[in-house]
Amino acid sequence: MPRSSVSRPVHPTAQAALSNDFLTPTLGTVNGQLRYGIIGVGMMGLEHLRNLLEVPGTAVVAAADPQPESLVRARTTMGDSPIECFDDHRSLLESGLCDAVVIASPNMTHADILLDVCDAGVPVLVEKPLCTTMADCLRLSGALEDYPRPLWVGLEYRYMPPVARLISSVQQGDVGAVRMVAIREHRYPFLSKVGDWNRFNRNTGGTLVEKCCHFFDLMNVLTEAIPVRVFASGAQDVNHLDERYDGEPPDILDNAFVIVDYANGTRAALDLCMFAEGTTNWEELSVVGDAGKVEAALPSGTFRRGLRNNGIGGVDEEIVEDSRIRHQGFHHGASYLEHLGFRDAVVNGTPVEVGLRDGVLSVAMGVAAHRSIDEARVVTMDEVFSR
């Protein structure tokens, strides 16, 4: 049975529930094209649509969204190409039009929609975060551990070209044994989405789930180890303070520090600030081992490698690009590359590279970080998975 080449650390408490040995049977295409349906065509749903319009061998044939204006935007984005529109995802699934589905609805709807999609037996790419609570994480893990179709979680940051270069460098041993991982995201505030649903923790899972599941996933890939403890400090200090929705103020954090301890002694740190528009690179990653250090930065696309045996200042630098990318989009072409992998998993049976266990663990680490902030203490991953 094929496995991804990307390491997927799993917490022991969750090992049984998080099996990711998905079967990936070959599906046939219709008229040479894999037919996609998109559930949720707000900002990210339209981003997936635009990417798929550029992916060879694919056709977007259906969209589902309860908001009529979102369906209008989907039709406009499709131009002259026809698309069937539904106001409910169940109607899309019952139509039989789709060989594969993308879930890009609001975070708090992912779990229930994903279960409906899998009940229909359709290959699926579900946007991050996989879900918003540990209860849903464990519910999905129990229900979908033997799902026989490709189930891909949209943690696409690992496909950003300089980040992919950094991962490759670490995995081929350039830095030696990894000891420290540091990730900084200094950027602009959360964007406005349909109905501004993303202003509240109850809908998003909280900033450290909604936004930072990407970074926890990268930590896990880079350390190839099991996270055991999380300590975090964060607050809502600047953004959205004057906004009100039905009289209620937003409660999403806009800055935080998070430290993660791994079972093998490796440490990882996240530095998040979402009122830092005046910066050169929004994301900066570094990995330090006993033999050297590698770095990646975006949007500059820079990758650096410095080996200790080269001495002080012995650093190589390059700008990394990927010639396969036909649509840059919001994530420097990462979503496009993600879709190439998902398409191949559906059509050719290649391994799912970002699966259920990746999605669960990235959410669980965000949940642990929020609990650490709320309770001002170190939180173990054991307790997160046990309740």
For 132-166, how does the pLDDT look when each residue is reduced to its tens digit (9 = 90+)? Answer: 999 999 999 999 999 999 999 999 999 999 999 99
Does position 2 have pLDDT exceeding 50, yes or no? no
* Helices (H) then strands (E): counts for the chain: 12, 15
Does position 19 have pLDDT exceeding 50, yes or no? no
Band of pLDDT at residue 358, cut at 50, 70 and 90:
very high
| Domain ranges within the chain, ordered by starting residue | 12-156+335-355, 158-325+364-386
For domain 12-156+335-355, the CATH class is alpha beta
Band of pLDDT at residue 12, cut at 50, 70 and 90:
very low
Share of the chain above pLDDT 70, in %: 92
What pLDDT was estimated at residue 108? 97
Give 160's Cβ-side CA count (13 Å radius).
25
What pLDDT was estimated at residue 238? 98
Q: Is 383 exposed, middle or buried (0-12, 13-18, 19+ CB in 10 A)?
A: exposed
Q: Which residues pair with residue 289 across a beta bridge?
A: 178
Does position 25 have pLDDT exceeding 50, yes or no? no
Band of pLDDT at residue 31, cut at 50, 70 and 90:
low
269-296 burial, b for 16+ CB within 10 Å, e for fewer?
bbebbbebeeeebbbbbbbbbeebbbbb
Asked if the domains 12-156+335-355 and 158-325+364-386 are classified in one and the same CATH topology, the answer is no
Does position 200 have pLDDT exceeding 60, yes or no? yes
What pLDDT was estimated at residue 18? 38
- Nearest Cα residue to 146 out of 124, 118, 126: 118
For 79-130, how does the pLDDT look when each residue is reduced to its tens digit (9 = 90+)? Answer: 999 999 999 999 999 999 999 999 999 999 999 999 999 999 999 999 999 9
Average pLDDT, the chain: 92
Using the structure block, give the residue that is written with the tokens 């929705």: 245
Report the alpha-carbon distance of residue 93 to residue 152 in Å, rounded.
18
Alpha-helical segments (H) within the chain: 43-52, 68-78, 89-95, 110-119, 134-144, 161-171, 201-204, 207-210, 213-223, 334-348, 356-375, 381-386
The one-letter amino acid at 243: E
Band of pLDDT at residue 67, cut at 50, 70 and 90:
very high
Q: Which CATH number fits domain 158-325+364-386: 3.30.360.10, 3.40.50.300, 3.40.50.970, 3.30.2130.30?
A: 3.30.360.10
For 275-323, how does the pLDDT look when each residue is reduced to its tens digit (9 = 90+)? Answer: 999 999 999 999 999 999 999 999 999 999 999 988 787 899 999 999 9
Report the alpha-carbon distance of residue 129 to residue 62 in Å, rounded.
23
Share of the chain above pLDDT 90, in %: 88
What pLDDT was estimated at residue 20? 33
Least confident of 5-19, 68-82, 207-221: 5-19
End-to-end CA separation in angstroms for the chain: 32
Kindly state the helix (H) or strand (E) to which residue 172 belongs, with its residue range: none
Kindly state the helix (H) or strand (E) to which residue 232 belongs, with its residue range: strand 227-235
Q: Rounded to the nearest 5°, which phi and psi values hold at 306?
A: -130, 120
